Structure 1
Amino acid sequence: MEERPPGGALRPDPAAGRRPPSAQPPARAHSGSRGGDSQATSLTLDLAPDVFTMRVLLEETGEMFRVTNCRADTTVLELKKELDLIAGIPLNLQRLQYLDQGILMDDTTLKFHDVVPGGIISLCVWHYDGWMELVLAAVEGDPSKLFCLGVTEESFYRTANSQHLEEKQRKRWVSQRASVALYVTSHRGHAEAVQYLLENGANCLSRTPMGRTPLHVAAAMGRLDCINLLLRHGAAISAKDAMGMTPMAIARQLNRKHSERRLFLFYWILKSGRKGTMDLSMSKTSRMVKFGSGSKKTRT
């Protein structure tokens, strides 16, 4: 079971899907002819509302996300921090582009790049070291594909970088890949993949550069099955991200009422010391996931 996106909050576009055929933003003037067109763009930005919405297209999957509360002076880094939660892609794996421009630098602003309200910014995953393939498999949520991409120490997957790593370094590399896969699958609500990763060593306490755990994004997206699995495997309900937000606070901010209630119930059980009740609740959740309640059936 998952909740539908709330209105007005930072959230994925309700019409998320493939690139719309006629949703391209107005063409930007090229560097050689910034005369009248450039002045018109600047005038458009000057007349734009103080706060507006941007669309962000994850190029590798065709998913579209909306980022609200954007301003002309919003920096690329600030936008990436929001996408860490909204798109479920860790900040350090993101590269953003707009129209014919190259990679947008973190310290530049939307106004500097002539980004118009409602325009589409492209989000791409860095290709180095097999990260793009891993994110694609995590978005799809297929455990067998994840296994083939180095999320467990038993995997034979190697990259040009990893094949030169010593044993201790390789273990850290595998752990990092498992953590990213867990973050993305928790965001997308793939309970089967989440369970597979947790049972094969993925750390539910791992954090993105924004300090967010898989529980943060599961709560933000209303992924109740994933929330239950993460809690059962020791996820920290009180963990704060770089903005000082706990998973419950994020659920409340985004109006994810079912997520907030589930987290509050778990918090209450912990505080009351009723461990037996908690174990029973988590055991019931595990059976529900196993037999396909709110998720795909578990592999045999």
Structure 2
Amino acid sequence: MNAQIAVLPRLSLAEQLADLAVEALIDEAELSPKPALVDRRGSGAHLDLSLELMHASAWSLWPAFHDMAAAGQAAGQVDVALRETLGRLGREGEAQMLAVTGGINTHRGAIWALGLLVGAAALVPPRARVSLVALQAARLARLEDRQAPAQLPSNGERVRRRYGVRGARAEAQAGFPGALAHGLPQLRRSRAAGVEENHAQLDALLAIMAQLEDTCVLHRAGLEGLRCMQDGARAVLVAGGSATLAGRRSLRELELGLLELNASPGGAADLLAVTLFLDRLEPMLGAPIGSL
């Protein structure tokens, strides 16, 4: 009897990038214990969310991420046409997400951030550094989407105007400094110190939280919530990070403070997903490991 060897087809670039984006969203959701966020323990400050819903939402976005990456590869350059294509695909992906979640916004911010990044990653040259991917994504974010329908201001936009903070759009237009200057360096520092991967990722989230003007927190809890998040995250890192006993005590105090204020760092969670995506993208691009 002759054995037949099945050869799996090689994934296209768009498929690989969509896989990375969905994987980053799922791993962000699974990471535990995240302060006041959905994780394996429960729903945090989000009574309408669950880990299962976050999984379903992430998987629903695979086609949109695939098509965004394919659009970037086909365009081969940053221009208004690509920006508008990504905008249209992002809106279609959001509609699919809302259909799956019953109208609950699970990943709107992540569609914006990761959509730009998969489109940018598909058009950079071989052995490019992730900083170039972020730069190209920033160039796309600065272009006007003339096809975007007129909408009422989002919660994030109202918060941005009220408090004079940057918001998700400005974060993308600046090249995701929350991920490149804070999340990724902390992730690598913790790994280099021998910290287990789960704690290294938690430390990366805390490094993002310590400096981000998170519009999700501001919307729910104002400046008091923002101070609680930033000061509490810094305290965990100063105590030695989430892998230490003192750090875990500080992390628990941070979570209790955020839950009391009904504040959830959703913007920081989106940037953790960006951090994980860029971290895993680097070896795929073939750039020197550890380069930014």
Q: Does the alignment reach a TM-score above 0.5? A: no
| Higher gyration radius (CA) | 1
TM-score (norm 2): 0.27
In terms of fraction of residues, the more helix-rich structure is 2
In terms of fraction of residues, the more strand-rich structure is 1
Q: Taking CA–CA contacts closer than 8 Å with sequence separation of 6 or more, which of the two structures ends up with the larger relative contact order?
A: 2
TM-score (norm 1): 0.26
